[in-house]
Amino acid sequence: METESVATSPFDDQRPGTSGLRKKVAVFRQPHYLENFLQSLFHVVKPKPGAMLVVGGDGRYHNLAAAQTILKMAAANGYGRIVIGRGGILSTPAASNLIRKRAASGGIILSASHNPGGPHGDFGVKYNAANGGPAPEDITEAVFRRSREQDRYRIARFDDLDLDSAGEHRLDGMIVEVVDPVDDYAALMESLFDFDLIRDWLKKGARIRFDAMSAVTGPYAREILEHRLGAPAGTVVNGEPLPDFGGHHPDPNLVHAHALVEEMYSADAPALGAASDGDGDRNMIMGAHFYVTPSDSLAVLAANAHRVPGYRDGLKGVARSLPTSRATDRAAAALGISAYETPTGWKFFGNLLDAGKITLCGEESFGTGSDHIREKDGLWAVLFWLNIVAARGESVEAIVRGHWAKHGRDYYTRHDYEEIDTAVARDLVDTLRDRLPTLSGEEVAGRRIESAEDFRYVDPIDGSVAEHQGIKVLLSGGGRIVFRLSGTGTSGATLRVYIERFEADPAKHDSDTQEALAGLIAAADALGGIKERLGVAPSAIT
Ligand code: VG1
Ligand code: CO
């Protein structure tokens, strides 16, 4: 095979964030930009000659062009087999599954997840290791260091391959295997959930709606919900993946999935409504006239896991990211299993899952998953809920209310200030951090600060340390506030403020969330000097 070594100059902005390298499409389309990053990656992971690599993306603009570049560079860097989804498409959970199932050396996922797509939107590249999970920070940091000196890359010269139909392309020294993106994933779901039970429940007339947000889950949801489970055609809406996601944020939350929210609050609302994000790893769950917070969702799944075939034998433990509410800790305590608190980002669950310390894990950002793969999994969460609802014969709302009555309710909200000035955002967090040593015992908006820390995570399995993962403040009356800056945005900074309060008394479980948290919201504002510094209201409240 003819390969070429191309001279380039290094880029200085290729540091992966919370989940891979994300930039505007225009940045990725600069000559040599993607190539340099890939060469830095291959330099660090050093594939053994003949190694297998899984490749796929969420179908956003630039997906296919980038996939062709990966094939050529993988060939020149010693890979022997590439397993790629038809059309260059794989949802993130399907990619994770394929890496594991095929025992590949790793995978490259092309996605900027919930960020908007299209020529003026975002693009992203993420490396997943042999366990199927996002590469840990020692790898991503090594790739970043290498990228600052990467001045050459190796690429094979062959014509773009036809990726539109399944089958094998045999090249000199490398095989490219184009696979159906849905098959293996759908089979995995059938192995975990009681499809017969869900099918019967649907047959009896229960209606559901799944909004794929014109992103990658459309074909997966149609196959699983409509074909295998027999939900009527039209159950999946916005099911055609579009390169620009129809111009929307493919982010399943109350703000961006408003069409689903309206349907779920309409007079004739379905029993369950759900949405997923650009790359299929997030989920939003709603019942008729009822919204399930992702934090509550994780806690409810943990408490009901024994009703689901794949988890019938019980859970080894659970984990949640720092800003996710403590509802899961309470569910775990009731089950007598361990609960771990990790930094934001799925990569921090990997070691716990691999070591068999946890079975379920999740994040407040609409991410839920288990040890079936090493990514969060949107459709998996929907099927888990369907299985529970069908098994219990109760509504989504009744199940969550019952859970609160038993364990108490964690009122929870997240206020995002998106695309704000980076210097102002950094200064806000730095100032808070500087004040940490003296914050305990102070009063803020009528509440006493019980503790305040800059969250530092020591991985219980390999001892690796992650510093500065969020400012966590505990207040009198069971309140908690977490401040952190987003690591997935591509312009300016995004401040996330996570606010929650525990309420044990069932007579007080009916309040509006923003009202129930009003005192703490004021405390967060006073602590961070948010209004004063930013001069704006939150751009998204979930
Ligand atoms: C956000 C979420 C985080 C999630 C990450 C990737 O990161 O807060 O919980 O793991 O997105 O999700 P940040 O740094 O912007 O807060 V997605 O669906 O990319 O894969
Ligand atoms: Co995602």
Take atom 10 of ligand 1 and give the residue whose Cα is closest. Answer: 345
pLDDT of 442: 94
Phi, psi angle pair for 368, to nearest 5°: -140, 145
Checking if the pLDDT of 41 tops 90, the result is: yes
Has residue 8 got a pLDDT over 90?
yes
For 266-271, what is the mean pLDDT?
97
- Looking at residue 484, its amino acid is R
- pLDDT for 392-430, tens place per residue? 999 999 999 999 999 999 999 999 999 999 999 999 999
Predicted confidence band of residue 248 (pLDDT cuts 50, 70, 90): confident
254 class by beta-carbon count within 10 Å (0-12 exposed, 13-18 middle, 19+ buried): middle
CA–centroid distance, residue 284 to ligand 2 (Å)? 12
Predicted local distance difference test score (pLDDT) of residue 178: 98
Ligand 1 atom 2: residue of nearest CA:
365
Query: How many angstroms separate the CA atoms of 530 and 483, rounded?
Result: 11
Residues touching ligand 1 (Cβ under 6 Å) are 18-19, 113-114, 277, 281-282, 321, 344-346, 363, 365, 367, 486-488, 496
Residue 467: pLDDT above 90? yes
Using the predicted structure, report yes or no on whether residue 19 has a pLDDT greater than 90. Answer: no
| Per-residue pLDDT tens digits for 488-531 | 878 899 999 999 999 999 999 999 999 999 999 999 999 999 99
Whether 113 sits among the annotated catalytic residues: the reply is: yes
The β-bridge relationship of strands 106-110 and 52-57 is: parallel
Q: Which atom of ligand 1 is nearest to the CA of 375?
A: 20
Q: Pick the residue whose CA is nearest to atom 20 on ligand 1.
A: 113
Strand 443-444 and strand 447-454: pairing? antiparallel
Locate the ligand 1 atom nearest the alpha carbon of residue 487 and give its number: 14
* pLDDT band at residue 461 using 50, 70 and 90 as cut-offs: very high
CA 488 to centroid of ligand 1, rounded, Å: 6
Predicted TM-score of the model (pTM): 0.96
Distance 377 CA to ligand 2 centre (A): 9
pLDDT in tens, 200-228: 999 999 999 999 999 999 999 999 999 99
Task: State residue 77's pLDDT score.
Answer: 97
What is the distance in A from the centroid of ligand 1 to the CA of 22?
A: 11
Q: Using pLDDT thresholds of 50, 70 and 90, give the confidence band for residue 197.
A: very high
What is the mean pLDDT of the segment spanning 95-115? 97
CA distance 264 to 272: 8
Question: pLDDT for 115-153, tens place per residue?
Answer: 999 999 999 999 999 999 999 989 999 999 999 999 999
Tell me if residue 122 falls in helix, strand or coil.
strand
Compute φ and ψ for 70, nearest 5 degrees. Answer: -60, -45
Token pair, residue 241, equals 């993946």
Atom index in ligand 1 nearest the CA of residue 488 equals: 15
CA 19 to ligand 1 centroid distance, Å: 7
Catalytic residue among 19, 40, 96, 113: 113
Q: Percent of the chain beyond pLDDT 70?
A: 100
Mean pLDDT along residues 7-34: 95
Alpha-carbon gap, residue 360 to 308, rounded angstroms: 13
Q: How high is the pLDDT of residue 489?
A: 79
- What is residue 123's predicted lDDT score, i.e. its pLDDT? 97
Cβ atoms of 287 and 400 within 8 Å: the answer is yes
**CA-proximal residue: ligand 1, atom 1 (nearest):** 488
Q: Which atom of ligand 1 is nearest to the CA of 17?
A: 14
Mean pLDDT of the chain: 97
- Identify the residue whose C-alpha is closest to ligand 1 atom 8: 365
User: pLDDT of 352-385, one tens digit each?
Assistant: 999 999 999 999 999 999 999 999 999 999 999 9
Which of 18, 366, 496 is the best mutation target for the ligand 1 pocket, counting ligand atoms within 8 Å of the beta carbon and taking the most?
18
Quote the Cα angle for 348-363-112, to 5°. Answer: 80
